[in-house]
Amino acid sequence: MGNYTIDEFIQQTKQDEQENDYFELETPRILEVNLLEMVWAKAGSMISYTGQIKFERERLLEHGVGVMFKKAMTGEGASLMKATGRGRLYLADQGKKITIFELNGESITVNGNDLLAFEPGIEWEIKMMRKVAGMMAGGLFNVTLKGKGRVAITSHYEPLTLLVKPGEPVITDPGATVAWSGDLTPEFRTDISIRTFLGRGSGESIQMEFSGEGFVIVQPFEEKYAAPNVSV
């Protein structure tokens, strides 16, 4: 960044005062939510807001007994907060790049750690990757979202979309896998040669294999997973 006077810096970096969409990228790494009623967001992602907005952590029974049972039995779950009211809400997650999707009846599955926010009209379901739970610390979980509305996801640096075609499966590292089309179901496999080379406890030996037709979004970064806490 070059040298600025204070006024020049303010003009260059100030918020957009115009009326914007419900979800708007204020910068590539800051999401502006023009809140009228309610939005679901990743817990801890609020960096600023204006107006009258109330924040609540997701409660265990918020989405019914089925979701509660999954969380209680697995110790996994997307840690969400509910923001209600009217105003401008600014969200970010560790400086990660933000991508906004507008779903029109489609579905997308997102790594639980990479889901930033979604409109309340979106249907969602936590899905466990049980086969991998014992292989990586804390295991992995993902969230399938479908319906009509906006979803914001995050990635470390620029994401890459890989097309999955019949007969041409795509193999990815779980820590670098951000999201995939909702009709794909990944299979997990262990590469014995890599496992032997890197050591018995290495997560590098686990791979995700996507077969069929759709897409997979990956990032040039491997996230490390630890056992998450369940919101109550």
pLDDT of the residue at 109: 95
Q: How far apart are CA 91 and CA 184, in angstroms?
A: 29
Q: Of 135, 139, 134, whose CA–CA distance to 126 is shortest?
A: 139
DSSP letter for each residue of 106-132: EEEEEEGGGEEEE-TTSEEEEEE-HHH
Among the residue ranges 69-73, 83-87, 113-117, 189-193, the one predicted with the least confidence is: 69-73
pLDDT of 6: 76
Mean of the pLDDT values across residues 43-51?
96
Task: Report the CATH number of the 19-218 domain.
Answer: 3.60.160.10
Rounded Cα gap, residues 103 and 91, in angstroms: 20
What is the per-residue pLDDT for 76?
44
Residues 60, 63, 64, 69, CA torsion sign: negative
- Residue scoring higher pLDDT (227 or 155): 155
Can you give the pLDDT at residue 204?
52
Residue type, 110: V
Q: What is the pLDDT of residues 9-41, one digit of tens each?
A: 788 777 776 657 899 999 999 999 999 999 999
- Between 21 and 178, the more confident residue is 178
Cβ neighbourhood burial of 39 (10 Å; 0-12, 13-18, 19+): buried
What whole-number distance in Å separates Cα of residue 184 and Cα of residue 162?
13
191-210 b/e (C-beta count within 10 Å ≥ 16 → b): eeeebeeeeeeebebbbbeb
Q: What's the number of CA atoms in the CB half-sphere (13 Å) around residue 61?
A: 0
Lowest mean pLDDT among 37-41, 94-98, 193-197: 193-197
Q: What pLDDT is recorded for position 198?
A: 52
Regarding predicted confidence, which is higher, 56 or 72? 56
- Range among 90-94, 183-187, 203-207 with highest mean pLDDT value: 90-94
Q: What pLDDT score does 200 carry?
A: 47
